[in-house]
């Protein structure tokens, strides 16, 4: 699918979508720092928002988008519309007219993305200042919900997309941006990691864990729409596909149906090709659904573990190993099975031979290289490559 990642120079989101095979582009008025100029548009993004556009990437290649974008993810600047900067609006107890005007311009730019002619849109920004009346955000996410050891509250405004689901909770996290109290207290717990970089650009980069979640979860939503029902079938080929999709259909009946297909080989091949392409598109949807369920399963398992650990810590803190309520009985007890073995050596080379398990197997790559070099090998030989039908 065609993906536009607006106001992104880091290319973190763009790269994750590219890894999944999508035609994704980052766009910003500054050069990219993600190492892929062939995917980066260094230009004004507004003329590109509604699709049906032509543009050059930084490597000089020209690209044509012949429809709307399938997905737009935008990271518009937040300097003047963020709630974090609201205190500067009334510095000295008086409205800063110049800053307020820049905030209104920032809101107008923000709304261009939210109102773009695209079915699926995600706009990312911090919590906005109420004075600008930006529409309510869909959800708030945190980096520590996606495997990152940081907190940095981020809002998502979503159109045609499901809320992003956490993938990996990190219990021990620190603030990414310095708290305002740090300057007064110099307490290390308020010191944000982003201050080490020192620039607003470094603080605004999307966390890789969040970028991966966007690509994984929002690809699923669009892939299922784009690839289902590629070809309309009628007659004997429709009957064949329906039979192949029926888990209760008997193998002999399916074989008889295939044998009964009439017509020249070219007609038969076209019919088979349509059925195969339809089933391949179904397979994409099935794989995407498996990935969605995997993410969901990991989240549920992680949350169950998190709740149990927190309750256990609370019980230990008050010196109780058993609690009985009207509904449940809670016990802290030793786990079943064998006691775990914890090695006190750093490397298995320090263990005697009888305590080391070594798995031996043939090095097929080395054997192949020997045969290709010498022409023969008394231990093995090269077999014939198989054949398979390919459809273009």
Whether 44 is covered by a domain: the verdict is: yes
Q: 163 and 20: one domain? A: yes
Whether 182 is covered by a domain: the verdict is: no
Range of the domain at 159: 2-172+206-225
User: What share of residues in the chain are helix, strand, coil (percent, to 5)?
Assistant: 45, 15, 40
Residue showing tokens 């690509």: 215
Q: 214 and 79: one domain? A: yes
Q: 236 and 304: one domain? A: yes
Q: 66 and 97: one domain? A: yes
Whether 149 is covered by a domain: the verdict is: yes
Q: 213 and 309: one domain? A: no
Last residue of a domain, one of 288, 317, 346: 317
Mean per-residue pLDDT, 296-308: 88
What is the model's pLDDT at position 199?
A: 52
The pLDDT tens digits for 33-68 are 999 999 999 999 999 999 999 999 999 999 999 999
Q: Report whether pLDDT(225) > 60.
A: no
Q: Report whether pLDDT(242) > 90.
A: no
Going from the C-alpha of 328 to that of each of 62, 311, 320, 324, 325, the distances in angstroms are 65, 13, 15, 6, 5
Q: How many domains does the chain have?
A: 2
Whether 187 is covered by a domain: the verdict is: no
Q: 124 and 241: one domain? A: no
Stronger pLDDT, 233 or 290, i.e. the higher one:
290
Whether 177 is covered by a domain: the verdict is: no
Q: Report whether pLDDT(106) > 90.
A: yes
Q: What CATH number does the domain containing 100 carry? A: 3.40.50.150
> Rounded to two decimals, what is the model's pTM?
0.59
Q: Report whether pLDDT(304) > 50.
A: yes
Which residues, listed in sequence order, are joined to residue 40 by a DSSP beta bridge? 26
Whether 359 is covered by a domain: the verdict is: no
Q: 104 and 10: one domain? A: yes
Q: 127 and 241: one domain? A: no
DSSP 119-167: SSEEEEESPBPGGG-PPPPSEEE-GGGBT-SEE--EEEEEESSPPPPP-
Last residue of a domain, one of 282, 317, 352: 317
């Amino acid at each position: 699918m065609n993906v536009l990642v607006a106001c992104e120079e880091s290319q973190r989101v763009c790269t994750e979508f590219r890894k999944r095979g999508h035609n994704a582009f980052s766009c910003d008025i500054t050069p990219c720092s993600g190492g892929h100029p062939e995917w980066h548009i260094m230009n004004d993004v507004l003329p590109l928002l509604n699709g049906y556009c032509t543009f050059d990437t930084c490597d000089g290649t020209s690209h044509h988008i012949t429809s709307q974008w399938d997905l737009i993810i935008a990271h518009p600047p937040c300097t003047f519309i963020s709630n974090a900067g609201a205190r500067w609006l009334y510095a000295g107890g008086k409205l800063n007219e110049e800053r307020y005007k820049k905030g209104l311009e920032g809101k107008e730019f923000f709304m261009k993305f939210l109102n773009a002619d695209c079915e699926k849109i995600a706009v990312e920004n911090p919590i906005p200042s109420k004075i600008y009346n930006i529409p309510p955000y869909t959800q708030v996410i945190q980096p520590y919900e996606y495997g990152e050891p940081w907190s940095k509250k981020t809002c998502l405004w979503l159109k045609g997309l499901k809320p992003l689901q956490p993938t990996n909770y990190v219990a021990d996290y620190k603030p990414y941006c310095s708290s305002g109290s740090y300057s007064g207290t110099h307490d290390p717990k308020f010191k944000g990691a982003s201050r080490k970089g020192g620039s607003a650009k470094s603080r605004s980069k999307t966390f890789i864990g969040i970028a991966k979640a966007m690509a994984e979860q929002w690809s699923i939503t669009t892939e299922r729409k784009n690839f289902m029902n590629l070809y309309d079938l009628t007659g004997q080929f429709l009957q064949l596909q329906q039979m192949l999709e029926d888990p209760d259909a008997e193998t002999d009946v399916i074989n008889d149906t295939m044998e009964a297909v009439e017509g020249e080989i070219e007609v038969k091949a076209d019919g088979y090709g349509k059925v195969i392409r339809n089933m391949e598109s179904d397979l994409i949807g099935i794989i995407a659904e498996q990935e969605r369920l995997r993410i969901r399963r990991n989240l549920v398992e992680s949350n169950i573990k998190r709740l149990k650990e927190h309750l256990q810590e609370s019980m230990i803190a008050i010196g109780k190993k058993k609690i009985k309520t009207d509904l449940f009985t809670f016990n802290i007890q030793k786990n079943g099975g064998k006691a775990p073995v914890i090695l006190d050596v750093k490397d298995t080379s320090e263990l005697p031979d009888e305590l080391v398990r070594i798995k031996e197997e043939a090095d097929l790559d080395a054997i192949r290289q020997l045969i290709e070099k010498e022409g023969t090998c008394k231990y093995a030989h090269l077999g014939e490559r198989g054949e398979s039908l390919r459809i273009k």
